[in-house]
Amino acid sequence: MTEEEATVLAALDTVRDPELDEPVTTLGFISSCTVSPDGDAQVRLRLPTYFCAPNFAFLMVADAYDAVSAVAGVRRTEVRLEDHFASEAINGGIAARAGFAESFDGLADGELDELRTDFVRKAVLAGTDRVCRPLLAAGQTTDDLAELTLGDLPPSPDLARLRARRADLGLPSGDDSALLVDAVTGEPIGAQALPLHLRRTRLTRVSAEANGSMCRGMLSQRYGTRGQGQVEEVQ
Amino acid sequence: MYEKDGNKYFVVDSHMHYWDASPENWVAGQENYAKGWIDCFHAYQSLGPPQTHWTIEHFYKCSEDDLMKDVFEDGYVDKAVFQPTYLKEWYTTGFNTTERNAALAEKHPGKFIVNGRWDPREGDAGIKQLEEDVARYDLKGVKMYTAEWREGSRGWTLQDPEAYRFLEKSQELGIKNIHVHKGPTIWPLDKDAFDVSDIDHAATDFPDLNFIVEHVGLPRIEDFCFMATQEPNVYAGLSVVIGGLMHARPKFFAKVMGELLFWVGEDKMTFGSDYSIWEPKWQVEGFVDWDYPGDEFSDYPRVNTDTKRKILGLNAAKLYGIEVPEECRLADAGKPAAPDDAALVEGGAKV
């Protein structure tokens, strides 16, 4: 892999599967990533099944296009989705820089912003569980958690990820912000509502991680090869 | 019936199929979709134990003898519920029609329950067909596949006014059980195809119907659970959960089961093998032997023999009015079945 290709792959690390909230690279979705000497970048994206949801597939291809195009030294970008029932519509739409509704003429009323927001909210809930579960395991009570701010926690990749998702949504994400907030309003969750809230955050995380795990199984069955930047899951 | 350690389990396979996905049945011009569909199912099978994997040729179309042996002879199933999936846009005679299922059921009296289907986009003709199907097959249940393609349309929701007309008609005709399967392509595409909120509305407006959400709303287990905890007539169909996770992803299987037991409860969970994606034998054996693997699951509801009896057969038997032999009934039939944890959540939930 050339230096340029490594840079493009690093840019693709910022592209996430919106449903799973994981980078398309580590999931194994990048089947190839090449950059020619004069700056033509070509990315091939693959998914676990022929019928994976086309709206999320579109977002991943569009985001990949944007991320790769922004890399210094890349003159031309091509991102193609392979082996998918909607490959043609998606690849055509991206190549033409058309929006989602235009790419799926007659099948969509609008763009995908709202859908994406819904899933970032889920990512905030799941991320909250990742950060809180170790605290509970270490003996903190839910009443303790209700008092904590983000700044009270030691830095960790999970905390950084949670802050980033909260910032994406415009929710409070600074050191003074409450650790536990409503994913829609950003209001702190009171001690009384906290036990149920934590049940919800755990369920949301279980759902996303179980789906991610199943997707990896299906992808591996479908292709049997490692993707560029793929990282095996820890079961 | 399955017996282990002196305990007897009455097994109702509440979600299984008898399909014909052979290339001869692919609609000309739609081969990619027909092949894509069955290849995807076949990949799911790979999540089961290696010795249960089939060749793709066998998987395209199994024989009547295969099914009877896999499900009843080897698979411990006492009663199997055929769930149709038509997909006539892609498969000439349909992927798995009620007619095809019923032909097999007629040869083996007492073994099967034959479910029908409807599609609100078929309008008056669909209503008439439903009436005929009920008269012919004595339907007690229907299977909805909301992502089915039809004449340029890419799906529908249970909230559509036309769907309500069919739900009313179903109720009037004596149908009790509405099995719903959410799929990946739906109108409008800018919304989440797996959203289960339409089931929530329908379940509230049709309290006398039971809504069994197949595959527990995968991949939206969380939305499904929040909904099911509030709707007494919403059930969790475990097809794919046991088949797809128990062997391949045991830790996630334990977590998903724990969540379902907490939010939905053991009285509203039903086993389905999803044959012939997976054979029931290993699923039944494995589930009876199953418990949480370790301490990290200690705050999920516990499972015991009665939990498994309910899930493997008794809950579905209740939904379909199937008589259960006395030896397979609950050890303590007089006791309220709802787990305390779930009751606690229902009382306090603001979801």
Q: Please report, rounded to a whole number, the percentage of residues in chain B having pLDDT higher than 90.
A: 83
Q: Please report, rounded to a whole number, the percentage of residues in chain B having pLDDT higher than 70.
A: 92
- CATH superfamily name and code, B10-348: Metal-dependent hydrolases (3.20.20.140)
Say which of A49, A85, A122 has its CB closest to residue B32. A85
Asked whether residue A229 is domain-assigned, the answer is no
CA angle B166, B167, B173 (to 5 degrees): 85
A98 lies in the same domain as A71: yes
A101 lies in the same domain as A173: no
Q: For residue B153, name the pLDDT band (cuts at 50, 70, 90).
A: confident
Q: How far apart are CA B270 and CA B83, in angstroms?
A: 14
Cα separation values, B124 from B88, B165, B166, Å: 19, 10, 10
Q: What is the mean pLDDT of residues B185-193?
A: 62
Q: How far apart are CA A87 and CA A106, in angstroms?
A: 17
Q: Quick check: A222 and B32 CB within 8 A?
A: no
With a cut of 70, say whether residue B333 has pLDDT above it: no
Asked whether residue A142 is domain-assigned, the answer is yes
pLDDT value at residue A5:
96
A109 vs A104, more confident: A104
What three-state secondary structure class fits B79?
strand
Residue A154 to chain B, least CA–CA distance (Å) = 23
Q: Quick check: B193 and A55 CB within 8 A?
A: yes
Using an 8 Å CB-CB cutoff, list chain B residues near A210. Answer: 221, 245, 249, 252, 255-256
Q: What is the mean pLDDT of residues A67-96?
A: 93
Q: What is the mean pLDDT of residues B199-227?
A: 94
Q: Quick check: A19 and B43 CB within 8 A?
A: no
Question: What value does the mean pLDDT of chain A take?
Answer: 93
- Which of A110, A135, A168 finishes a domain? A110
With a cut of 50, say whether residue B337 has pLDDT above it: no
Residue A72 to chain B, least CA–CA distance (Å) = 32
Asked whether residue A234 is domain-assigned, the answer is no
A79 lies in the same domain as A12: yes
Q: pLDDT tens digits for A46-67?
A: 999 998 988 899 999 999 999 9
Q: Quick check: B46 and A203 CB within 8 A?
A: no
pLDDT value at residue B346:
45
Say which of B184, B251, B263 has its CB closest to residue A235. B251
pLDDT value at residue B323:
96
A100 lies in the same domain as A134: no
pLDDT value at residue B332:
67
pLDDT value at residue B190:
67
Q: Where are the beta strands (DSSP E) in B39-100?
A: 79-82
Residue B275's nearest CA partner among B45, B9, B98, B76 is: B45
The three-state DSSP-derived secondary structure of B239-292 is: CCHHHHHHCCCHHHHHHHHHHHHHHCCHHHEECCCCCCCCCHHHHHHHHHHCCC
pLDDT value at residue B282:
98
Which residue out of B32, B222, B249, B300 would a mutagenesis test of the A interface target, given it has the greatest number of A Cβ atoms within 10 Å?
Answer: B222
Which residue out of A85, A128, A206, A216 would a mutagenesis test of the B interface target, given it has the greatest number of B Cβ atoms within 10 Å?
Answer: A206
CA B9 to chain CA centroid, nearest Å: 19
A106 lies in the same domain as A146: no
A153 lies in the same domain as A169: yes
Using an 8 Å CB-CB cutoff, list chain B residues near A194. Answer: none
Q: Quick check: B221 and A55 CB within 8 A?
A: no
What three-state secondary structure class fits B83?
coil
Q: How far apart are CA A31 and CA B49, in angstroms?
A: 27
Q: Quick check: B43 and A49 CB within 8 A?
A: yes
A149 lies in the same domain as A84: no
pLDDT value at residue B184:
61
Residue B167 to chain A, least CA–CA distance (Å) = 26
With a cut of 90, say whether residue B146 has pLDDT above it: no
With a cut of 60, say whether residue B345 has pLDDT above it: no
Asked whether residue A217 is domain-assigned, the answer is no
- Which of A44, A79, A110 finishes a domain? A110
A106 lies in the same domain as A133: no
pLDDT value at residue B350:
35
Q: Quick check: B184 and A53 CB within 8 A?
A: yes
Q: Quick check: A200 and B351 CB within 8 A?
A: yes
What three-state secondary structure class fits B143?
strand
With a cut of 50, say whether residue A227 has pLDDT above it: yes
User: What's the CATH number where A73 sits?
Assistant: 3.30.300.130
pLDDT value at residue B189:
65
Residues B252-276 as b/e (b if ≥16 CB within 10 A, e otherwise) read bbbbbbbbbbbbbbbbbbbbbbbbb
Q: What is the mean pLDDT of residues A2-28?
A: 96
Number of domains in chain A: 2
Q: pLDDT tens digits for B3-38?
A: 999 999 999 999 999 999 999 999 999 999 999 999
Asked whether residue A19 is domain-assigned, the answer is yes
**Domain positions in chain B:** 10-348
Q: pLDDT tens digits for A190-213?
A: 999 999 999 999 999 999 999 999
Q: What is the mean pLDDT of residues A172-191?
A: 96
Place of tokens 């349309």: B153
Q: Quick check: B187 and A107 CB within 8 A?
A: yes
Q: Quick check: A213 and B249 CB within 8 A?
A: yes
Which domain does A155 fall in, by range?
114-212
Asked whether residue A222 is domain-assigned, the answer is no
ipTM of the complex: 0.92
Residue B12 to chain A, least CA–CA distance (Å) = 26
With a cut of 90, say whether residue B266 has pLDDT above it: yes
- Which of A90, A110, A130 finishes a domain? A110
Place of tokens 């043609």: A88
Q: For residue B218, name the pLDDT band (cuts at 50, 70, 90).
A: confident
- pTM of the model as a whole: 0.93
Q: Quick check: B350 and A218 CB within 8 A?
A: no
Which residue out of B189, B295, B299 would a mutagenesis test of the A interface target, given it has the greatest number of A Cβ atoms within 10 Å?
Answer: B189
Which residue out of B30, B32, B39, B190 would a mutagenesis test of the A interface target, given it has the greatest number of A Cβ atoms within 10 Å?
Answer: B190
Asked whether residue A223 is domain-assigned, the answer is no
Q: What is the CA radius of gyration of chain A?
A: 19
Using an 8 Å CB-CB cutoff, list chain A residues near B185. Answer: 51, 53-54, 85
Q: How far apart are CA B143 and CA A21, in angstroms?
A: 32
Residue A224 to chain B, least CA–CA distance (Å) = 12
Q: How far apart are CA B61 and CA B56, in angstroms?
A: 9
A103 lies in the same domain as A165: no
Q: How far apart are CA B277 and CA B279, in angstroms?
A: 7
pLDDT value at residue A222:
93
Residue A112 to chain B, least CA–CA distance (Å) = 6
- Closest residue in A to B225 (Cα) is A203
Q: How far apart are CA B272 and CA B270, in angstroms?
A: 7
pLDDT value at residue B296:
85
Q: pLDDT tens digits for A66-75?
A: 999 999 999 9
Residue A128's nearest CA partner among A166, A155, A167, A154 is: A166
pLDDT value at residue B344:
42
pLDDT value at residue B347:
38
B179 touches B143 (CB < 8 A): yes
With a cut of 90, say whether residue A98 has pLDDT above it: no
Q: How far apart are CA A29 and CA A46, in angstroms?
A: 5
A138 lies in the same domain as A93: no
Q: How far apart are CA B236 and CA B266, in angstroms?
A: 9
Say which of A108, A115, A214 has its CB closest to residue B244. A214
Q: What is the mean pLDDT of residues B164-175?
A: 98
A132 lies in the same domain as A190: yes
A82 lies in the same domain as A137: no
Phi (first) and psi of residue A204, to 5 degrees: -65, -40
Least confident among B190-194, B201-205, B236-240? B190-194
Q: pLDDT tens digits for B112-131?
A: 999 999 999 999 999 999 99
- Closest residue in B to A50 (Cα) is B36
- Closest residue in A to B217 (Cα) is A207
Question: What value does the mean pLDDT of chain B take?
Answer: 91
Using an 8 Å CB-CB cutoff, list chain A residues near B49. Answer: none
Asked whether residue A70 is domain-assigned, the answer is yes
- Closest residue in B to A19 (Cα) is B219
